[in-house]
Each structure stands twice: as C-alpha cells, then as structure tokens.
Structure 1
Amino acid sequence: MRCLVTGATGYIGGRLAPRLLEAGHAVRCLSRSAGRLRDVPWKDRVEIVEADLLDPSSLVAALDGIEVVYFLVHSLGQADFEQRDRQAATNMAAAARAAGVRRIIYLGGPEPPADEHPSAHLRSRAEVARILLASGVPTVVLRAPVIIGSGSASFEMLRHLTERLPAMITPRWVSNRIQPIAVRDVLRYLIGAADLPPEVNRGFDIGGADVLTYAEMMRRYARVAGLPRRIILPTRVLSPWLSAHWVGLITPVPNAIARPLVASLVHEAVAHENDLTELLPGPTEPTRGGKQKATPDVLGFDESVRLALGKIRDADVETRWSTASGGDAAAEPLPSDPKWSGGSLYLDERCRPVEAPPEHLWRVIEGIGGENGWYSFPLAWSVRGWLDRLAGGVGLRRGRRDQHRLRVGEALDWWRVEEIEPGSLLRLRAEMKVPGRAWLEMRAEPSPSGGSVYRQRAVFLPRGLAGHLYWASVLPFHGLVFAGMARNITAEAEESLRRRPAQPVADG
C-alpha cells in the first residue's frame, strides 16, 4: 500500500513512518523542508516530497499514486492555529478527493460533551475531523487523550511537573478523569486503520487500559520513576491560564504549546466506546515455538511509563538514546522531535586536539583510575570519595583489577565499565550515591592532521528535584575537574609519545 505521511517531522509521524515500512508499505513523507528529515535513520527507505498544506497546488504531486493519507499535522503553538489547521484540512480534503485517495486517517483529540464549551485546541481538532469526514474520501478519525511516550508534549508536561515538584498546589482539573494511551498502541491503531473496509467513515475513541485522574497519573509516574510519593494539594484558585504559565515556568514545554494543552485538561478525556478494537486484530508476540500469541489489547499506564523511561530492557523503543548510556538508557527523542522533549539531560562535553596518535591517547584513557588517578584536582576526587563512603557508597576504595587493561562489567573506583571499543571508546557508569544516573565517556579519534582528538563527555540524568539541585551544586567545580581532566589526559598522551612507543591495542 502506498502511504503519504504528513507531519513526518513531528512526534507521531516520525515514529509511524518506520513502522509502516516494517509492515511492508511504501512510504512517502511530506514536509515543507526535506532537510528536516536528513538525520532520521530511515530517510533512504522513503520518498520525501516538499509541499505546503496551505498551498493546494503543491499537493498534486505529493498525492500522485497515493492510496492512504495520514493527516498528522497541526499548528499548535502558533497564534492563528485554528485558522491554519482549518485551511490545511480543507486543502487536503479537496486534493485527496481529486487524486482518488482510498482513505484518510487523522489523529485527533478527545471530543468533549456537547454541553461543554470546548478549549480552542479541542475545538480545532474536532473541526478538522469534520472537514476530513465530509471530504468524500473514507476517513478514520482516532480520538486520543494524553499520549504516553518520550517526546509527547503531554507526557513531557507530566514528566517534568512530577520530577521537579515533590509537593505542589494544583488546580481543580487534576481531579478530572483521563484515559492515557501508550504511543505504541496509537501507532498500532494508525497502521491497522489503513485496512478497514471502505465503508467505514467515522471517528473512534482510543485509550489505554487505565482511567485515572491527572493527580493519580503524577503519583503513579513518581512510583514508576522511583521517586518519593508526591504531595498534591488541589485548589480552586488556579485557573487554566495561570496553570499554563506555571507549567511553562517549571517545564521546558513552550508556553504557546502548554497553554492550549492545559486548557484542554479541563475536560475529561475518557473513551465512550471501544469499537475499533473489535474491527482490528489485537497485538501478538512470538512464543518459543515461533508461533504468535495474543497480548492484551492495550497497555496500562505503569507499563507505558516504563517503556517511555526505557525501564523495560529489550523492548522495541525506537527512541532509545544509546550513544550516551548503552542499554540502561532512558528512552530519548528522535532527531525530528523538539529540542525540549525527552526529559532533563545534563552534559559536560570537552574536546581537545592531541599531538600524538590515537594509540598513545588510548593507552592513557584505558589506564585511568586506581593508582593512576583521574588526572585532575586529586583533592576534589578524594573528598568526593569520602563523602560517598559516608553516604553508604563505594567511594574510591575499589581501585582497578589491572593497571593497564579494562574489561566490560568490572569495577573501576566508584565506576563500572559499561562499554569498551578497544582503541576508541571507554564508557563508565557511576555507582556512587547520586540522585540520578551518571556516565563518563572518553573517546580517542584519529585526526586528519596525523595526531588525534580527545572527546570527553559527562552525562547526568537527574531523578527528582534533588537531582537537579545536585547538578547545580557541582556545576561550579566542573571547570576545574572536567576541564583539568581533559587537559591533563591529552598532555600525558603527548608526553608518552616522547617517552616510549605505543603498545598494541588489546582486543577488549
């Protein structure tokens, strides 16, 4: 089936396109700027067309030969988003009908009761749904509430509010019921909707296995994330307008997006029917014998959060940030996601040229720790080790097993060797007592000039407010510790070149 994915540079579209490819479909991605897809790993497997949904003439070529259109765009965050989304839907409806498209699939929002005054966000979503359903092209509208997945604006609001505020005074809408759904279940419904019979032209409510209040979602998120129980005190004072500004202050979600999303939370978002699950086959998973067995139709809230946070190993989480922390990483956004998505991540990065070949630099990197020390401010490392032991940690007393060689999984002072690429990469995971997770990564890379380049990166994923305060407290020392470390490691590599030839690199 030939599918057009609009919004391929967005949160859902960027995850749907590779899933469609896996399902055997031919995929064309529409974007106003093809360059925004240059970093996605599947770009060479799709056709990319540049078009603007507000320019009807540009849609003719984009829809040529297309059978199914995924309408996954919105202008949320812009002042005139209702007008822009109305025009985009109208243009797509007319162009799809003229091109002979077999089906349109639209991911919208929950539909509030008729007796309520809907927020601008939900009002716009409902209007777009009506336009597409009246297009003359069979259309499926999926009405989704809060989507649980790293990179989703709604999930990022929940994540940051819960992690950064151990106690909070909340508006009364935190008592409204919501039926959150995992992003992988949304993707499954989107893919399955393409195979519905041509007479199906309607909207469907979709939701996860649990119906919770927003306050319950924050408490359960805290439990899954390993945070202390959150204290939540509802009040009638905070209006949606004030709440949105508070969300904008506490979380990295831009105010222009937070305001309409918070305004939508004044409405309950619970599925009123479950018709789509009866029309689509449920998910399956392979058994040891190679057969497929049915799994629950949709995920519960806790499991959805575990997947979003990367706490379920070997799960099919396409957002995993493996370049920083290996298999124990949190699920991070795709290259096409907004910069503010994916949770808090603190980095200290250093890069220095080295007038010595990579093998000399690598020998210094692999020999770090133990009796050789950490090449910067020994007193600071010693004090931090004593403090760690006082807190019940391992401190620096473990040393290292071998003076020259390291192996994956062995202890190195208060670190654990997580990954080694002999001659090029050493990644250490901290086992000291810190309110979060920390890694130290060191790389030796060849330089076109004949020498090498030393790259050093310290990574910290904070847990709760204490984690953010911890990073702020140690930040003033980074210039001394990490800058000195990079400077002294490179100097030692250059000095080793003058003292003796490099030893062959061992095979890990």
Structure 2
Amino acid sequence: MTPASPTPAPDESATEGRNGRTALVTGATGYIGGRLVPRLLADGFAVRVLARSPQKLIDVPWADDVGIVQGDLHDADSVKAAMRDVDVVYYLVHSMRAKGDFEEEESDAARNVAAAAKGAGVSRIVYLGALHPDGVTLSRHLRSRVAVARVLLDSGVPTIVLQAGVVIGSGSASFEMIRHLTEVLPYMPAPRWVRNRIQPIAIRDVLHYLRSAADVPPEVNRAFDIGGPDILRYGQMMNGFAVEAGLRQRPIASLPVFTPWLASQWVNLVTPIPRSLAVPIIESLQFDCVVQEHDIDSVIAPPAGGLTGYRRAVALALAKMRDGAVETSWRNSSVEGAPSDPLPSDPDWAGHTVYTDVRDRASTASPEALWRVIEGIGGERGWYSFPLAWALRGWADKLVGGVGLTRGRRDADRLQTGDAVDWWRVEHIVRGRELRLRAEMRVPGPAWLELSARPGDDGTGSVYHQRAVFFPKGLPGRLYWLAILPFHGVIFSGMVNRIVIEAERSADAGDPPPMWPTRPE
C-alpha cells in the first residue's frame, strides 16, 4: 500500500448563509471549534475555517458545508485571504505548549488576526479566553491568554472576550482529568489546589455564549467572565463526578509537597492527559478561579432553562460517552513534539534510512468483515497481541512525558482523519480499505502503522496487509529499532493472526469486534 498524497483543501469560498452573514472560525479542528461550526451552520451562517492541515477535516460531518482555507495564523497572507467578506471572526486557537517562547508567538498570531480583521471590515471578533483572578502573578499560559485578549480588544474591531474556566463536557481535557483521577484512585493524595474554589461551566453553555456573541451590539468591546451556577472546590468536583458515575466518594488529602511540575507528572502517570497538556491545566488551578462580575447577563441572556449545574453537566457528559456520541475530544488536539509532515510516498524513500516490518495474511472473511476489525482497533479493544508488552511500552512513554496507551479513542467503532487512537493519530483513512496511523509516542524518529483490507486474489475472502514504518533519527533511532526488533515477531505476528481470526469469527454474525484487554487484568 502506497500512502496517499495529502488531500487538497476544498474550495476556499463560503456561500452566503441564510442570515446573510459569514463567520470565520479558527481552531475548527479543536475541541470547542469542532462543536461550534455545525451550530453556526444551524444558525444560518456561511462558515469558513482556517486550518493548517485541511486533511484533518476530511471526515467531519460538516466538511462539505464549509469553506476551508489552508493557512496559519502566523502567516499574515493566509489570514488576510481567510478574512475576505467575513462578518464575524471566532478566535479559538490556544497554544498548549509547555516550552518555548509561545507567549510572544500567541501575541504575534493575534496581531495578524487583528490587522486582517480591521482591513477586511469585520464587524465582530469573538475570543474565548481564560477566567483568571486579579492581583496575582499569572502562569505563562494565562498571561498569554490575557495578552491575546488585549491585542484583539485594541484592534479597532468590536471584540467580545468570553473568559471561561474549567469546561465540563464529554471529551474535554478538564472533564477527562477529573474522570480518570476519580476512577483510578481509591484515595487521592492531592496538591493544595484541590482546596481552591472553581466555577466550572458546561460545554453547552460555552457554545450558547459563543453563538450569541455574534449578535452583540457593535458598541460592546470588552471582556466578560462566564461560569456555571456552582462554585466548588476541585475535590468537590471529583466527588460530584463520583456520585454521578455511581462510584463511592474518594477521600482526598491535600499535600503541600506537590508543586505544579510534580502534579503534572502525577496527572500524566494516572490519567491519559499527557504532561504537555497537564501543565497548563494545573497552572490555571493554582488560585481561586471564579466569576468576578456578571455583566454578561446584560448583554447575552442565559440559556433557556438557565445555566447547567455541575452535576447535570457531568451526567450529560457521561450519557454522551455511553451512547458513543462524543462530537469532539481533547484527544484530537495536536501533541507537542509530534511530527506533522505526511508520510513520504515509497519512491521518496530513496536515500533515506527506513526500517519496515511487512506482513500479509489471507482470510476467508470478507473485506468488509476484516475492515470492521481494523477500524475498531485500539482503545478498549486493544491491539490484539501481547497486552503486557503494549502496556509496558505505554507506561514507559508516560514516564518520559508522552501520551501513553490510555488516551483511548473518541468513538469505539468509527475513525476519521485526525482522530487519536491511544498513542497513534489517524493520518489517512480510506473507509473500507486502508488506515494509516502516525505514532505520537516519544521515539527517536517518526513512525507509522498501516493496516488494510482488500479482496482475495482469487475473488473470494480477503487479504490483510500490515506494515510498520520507522525513519530512525541518528544513532539513537537505529539502536531503538534494533532493541525492539526481537519483540516484533511476537507483537506484529500476533496482531496479524488475531485480527484475521476475529474477522473470520465475526464475519457471519456481523458482530462488532470484542473488547480485547489493552492492559493485563
């Protein structure tokens, strides 16, 4: 199987919406942006999105209903092109990096957006910022949010900044951190910030404010705090989750020895949240973080029925997860340090050192039955071979700050481009035929895993094809490949055998693949 070349972006133009207005959404591949876009379409907007990697949007349900501009907020020309004939701009891009000069980079991107919006005659900018206390020294990530808000408010374009704290919804990073800490630990030794007061907000209420902000009068140019009806300590949020999930409440001990750095290591080890994402989340919890003014009520009315309480938001999120209806997830956000270039096609490998492990196996199952097993791989179903070896490799990745094996997947049965699958990312999928996964574990060189199903050579059955590809980076990369080579015979051959066996088992009944253990019981 030769990897496909990147799919070109769809037509950049956005047709006129039912309400005659066009909205540009930045961050549409993210957790909140991915949920906002279909709601703006429902509101009658023509929607355009700016994306660095348009291929990540190929499989989203609304892909054919929006205009897509390939570009980057740091590229002034692509931002200007995206702003053409736009009425409302949604700025939903945040850096979650823990290193580097991301503060200045964030401000530079905001200045590009501000200048382009002013030049294009945009009537409104909507920015989702961060709820933060006054009079304290903020973390770098919170400072960058404040700086971006100031740039946009000073742009000369009417801007509304919605400052939200912990967002509770199926797939949100904050919710997943609470969920896993509560589910995994019968007793919680915790940092002092578990005693801090927090005002969480349900994702449905965040989306309500974002949608309504497009209709705020042009004389409004300021920041507003938004939050749900409950003010809780973080420990109370964990135990509130436990009640809704049918778990017993956890005893929590606040320990002064946990610095934010140590706490991020702890979260990285016991939850799927990688260290690079845990750091900014934990830094934002170091102080009481509650709504300090309720001026938003005079500009945007609360949702019909009122704001969603914390436990109700948790119950809704759990119901979405049980129904397999998680729209977007933090898992699909880019991971710091992960490669982003597409896999070179086979002819381009000339001159490069590349290691491969290629295996094929004929099966009596139909290609459709074989594909069901391929597309359902990972997450709770595991990888069909040597669970202990996969678990140990996942823990090793966690120890060095990687995503590990517990990240899981958004949907148990269906994948789309850009989805996370444990420590892999769906880079390319042709549904019913081939799947290419890019590794996001910490390894000395980029790695891919390709799985495909095709009809049998004699017209009956099918052929399963599996290829692991590794581009070693220097001597460490070569030594790494040699070190794991003995395990390939067990792991990769086991995958081939068990995937084919499962496809044949379920072929007649049409059953979904079973839940294979990712970790040994």
Trace 1:388-403 onto structure 2 (pairs within 5 A): none
Q: What's the offset of the Cα at 1:328?
A: 3.8
- Counterparts of 2:50 and 2:134 in 1: how far apart (Å)? 34
Closer, same or farther: CA 51–486 of 1 in aligned 2, 3 Å: closer
What is the CA–CA distance in structure 1 between the aligned matches of 2:162 and 2:363, rounded to whole Å? 56
1:126 Cα deviation (Å)? 0.8
1:118-174 superposed Cα distances (whole Å, 9 cap, x missing partner): 111111111111111011000000000000122322222212211111112111111
Distance apart, 1:355 and its partner CA: 3.6
Does 2:201 correspond to 1:181?
yes
Which residue is 1:338 aligned to? 333
TM-score scaled by length of structure 1: 0.64
Match of 2:501 in 1: 487
Pairs within 5 Å for 1:278-427: 278-283=298-303, 294-295=304-305, 297-309=306-318, 311=319, 328-329=323-324, 331=326, 333=328, 337-338=332-333, 353-355=362-364
Give SS of 1:229's match.
Answer: coil
Counterpart position of 2:481: none
The aligned amino acid for 2:312 is E
Deviates more, 1:481-490 or 1:136-145: 481-490
State the match for 1:451 in structure 2.
460
Give the counterpart of 1:7 among 20, 27, 35: 27
- The match for 1:140 is 160
| 1:159 counterpart SS class | helix
Measure how far apart 1:334 and its partner are: 5.3
**Counterpart-to-counterpart distance in 2, 1:488 and 1:41:** 30
**C-alpha separation between the residues in 1 aligned to 2:66 and 2:499?**
44
Whether 1:86 and 2:107 are equivalent positions in the alignment is yes
Q: Distance in 2 between matches of 1:233 and 1:225?
A: 21
Q: In 1, distance between residues paired with 2:234 and 2:501? A: 49
Number of the residue aligned with 2:391: none
For 1:451 and 1:335, the matched residues in 2 are separated by 41
Q: Name the CA distance, whole Å, in 1 between partners of 2:366 and 2:121.
A: 62
Compute the displacement of 1:339 (Å).
Answer: 8.1
Q: Secondary structure at 1:49's aligned position in 2?
A: strand
Change (3 A) 1:255 1:204: same
What's the secondary structure of 1:3's corresponding residue?
strand
Write the letter of the residue equivalent to 2:126.
I
Q: 231, 236, 245: which is aligned to 2:265? A: 245
- Relative to structure 1, the CA distance from residue 57 to residue 220 in structure 2 (aligned partners, 3 Å threshold; closer, same or farther) is same
Task: Give the C-alpha shift of residue 331 in structure 1.
Answer: 3.5
The correspondence for 1:211, drawn from 213, 225, 231, is: 231
Matched, 1:221 2:210: no
Q: Which moved more, 1:121-130 or 1:242-251?
A: 242-251
CA gap 1:101/1:163 in 2 versus in 1, 3 angstroms: same
Measured against aligned partners, the alpha-carbon deviations of 1:228-249 in whole angstroms (never above 9, x if no partner) come to: 2212111222122211121122
2:215 is the counterpart of 1:195: yes
1:255 and 2:275 aligned: yes
**Structure 1 residue aligned with 2:73:** 53
Alignment partners' CA distance in 1, 2:108 and 2:301? 35
Alpha-carbon distance change, 128 to 207 in structure 1, aligned in 2, over 3 angstroms? same
1:111 matches 2:132: yes
Matched residues in 2 for 1:492 and 1:139: separation? 55
- Mapped contact 1:36–1:336 kept (Cα < 8 A): no
Whole-angstrom CA distance in 2 between matches of 1:9 and 1:357: 34
Contact 2:173/2:330 (<8 A) preserved: no
2:95 and 2:274 map into 1 onto residues whose CA distance is: 14
Q: Which amino acid aligns with 1:63?
A: M
Q: Indicate the structure (1 or 2) with the bigger Cα radius of gyration.
A: 1
1:94 CA displacement: 1.1
Deviation of residue 277 (structure 1)? 2.9
**1:357–1:174 Cα change, 3 Å:** closer
Cα 1:448–1:282 change in 2 (3 A) is farther
SS at the partner of 2:30?
coil
Instruction: Supply the distance in 2 between the matched residues of 1:90 and 1:271 (Cα, whole angstroms).
Output: 27
Gap change, CA 1:334 and 1:155, over 3 Å in 2: closer
Q: Which residue of 2 aligns with 1:265?
A: 285
| 1:67 corresponding residue in structure 2 | 87
Indicate the residue corresponding to 2:117 in structure 1: 96
Give the 3 Å change call, closer, same or farther, for CA 158–355 of structure 1 in structure 2. closer
Give the residue type in structure 1 aligned to 2:217.
Answer: P
Quote the Cα distance in structure 2 between the aligned partners of 1:240 and 1:356: 52
Mapped to 2, the partners of 1:186 and 1:492 lie a distance apart of: 42
AA matched with 2:177: M
Give how far 1:487 is off: 3.2
Residue 68 of structure 2 aligns with an amino acid whose one-letter code is I
Distance 2:67 2:316 in 1: 30
Q: Distance in 1 between matches of 2:173 and 2:505?
A: 45
| 1:23 and 2:32 are equivalent in the alignment | no
Q: How far 1:488 moved relative to its partner?
A: 8.5
Encode CA deviations 1:182-235: one digit per residue, 9 max, x unaligned. Answer: 111101100000000000001111111211000000111111112222121112
* Alpha-carbon distance change, 301 to 58 in structure 1, aligned in 2, over 3 angstroms: same
The question of whether the paired residues in 2 share the 8 Å contact of 1:121 and 1:261 is answered with: no
Distance in 1, matches of 2:224 and 2:96, equals 22
Q: 1:249–1:355: structure 2 CA closer, same or farther, 3 Å change rule?
A: closer
Q: Distance in 2 between matches of 1:8 and 1:267?
A: 30
**8 Å contact kept, 1:144–1:206:** yes
- Alpha carbons of structure 1 residues 27 and 492: separation in structure 2 relative to 1, 3 Å: closer
Tell me if structure 1 keeps the 8 A contact 2:22–2:88: yes
Distance 1:276 1:329 in 2: 34
The answer (yes or no) to whether the contact 2:363–2:500 under 8 Å persists in 1 is no
For 2:460 and 2:334, the matched residues in 1 are separated by 34
Q: Report the secondary structure of 1:65's partner residue.
A: coil
> Which amino acid in the other structure matches residue 92 of structure 1?
V
Distance change (3 Å), C-alpha of 1:193 and 1:158: same
* Partner in structure 1 of residue 446 of structure 2: none
Q: Percent identity?
A: 50
**CA-CA distance at 1:483 after TM superposition:** 6.3
1:451/1:243 Cα in 2 relative to 1: closer, same or farther (>3 Å)?
same
Q: CA RMSD in A?
A: 3.5
CA contact (8 A) 2:189 2:254 kept: yes
* Alpha-carbon distance in structure 1 between the residues aligned to 2:51 and 2:61: 16
Structure 1 position 44, deviation (Å): 0.3
Say which SS state the counterpart of residue 30 (structure 1) adopts: strand
TM-score scaled by structure 2? 0.62
Give the alignment partner of residue 172 of structure 1, picking from 187, 192, 197.
192
- Displacement of 1:451 in angstroms is 2.4
Distance 1:55 1:199 in 2: 30
